[in-house]
Copies of this chain bind each other. A is one copy, B any other.
């Protein structure tokens, strides 16, 4: 019954399941473990990954730095990156610039509706220090696609707790000018 209920509604919480079956949350958790059903967070991630795998064209999803949580090709995209130990300077625990750049740059690649997307130029600014444990939300917006060359201009703003920490203007190459599939 647990398997069926979760299959029907993968986004149901353990709390709701406990209420539904009239048992404790602990029971649900143990049963999930026994049946190897991942927790809600993992299930959401799995569904999200599966969905965007079919959508992103310019690179395999595992090559995106950060986790894509929304994408509309040639228009906009959002990703999140949790800053961990391996992203910060040992001395001051400040996130290293190239990780914020990597998140933004790979989002700029991912948003392009083409098999080939490469960065030509970028103009970037680090507006605030990002620390270990911070969650960085990067928002990419396609501002212009040159009709002739296909050159694509993308603005990426990254936030921690709604405060701007990074902004970048990217100019990207692509192999063809637009959504030709």
Interfacial residues, chain A to chain B (CB-CB below 8 A)? 59-60, 63, 65, 89-92, 94, 96-98, 101-102, 105-106, 115-116, 118-126, 129
Contacts and interface: CB of A to CB of B under 8 A. Distances in A.
A47 to B, nearest CB: 24
B125 A120 contact: yes
- Nearest 10 interchain pairs by C-beta: A98-B102, A97-B119, A121-B125, A122-B124, A123-B123, A101-B101, A97-B105, A98-B105, A119-B126, A98-B101
Contacts of A105: 96-98, 101
Contacts of A65: 98
A167 B7 CA distance: 51
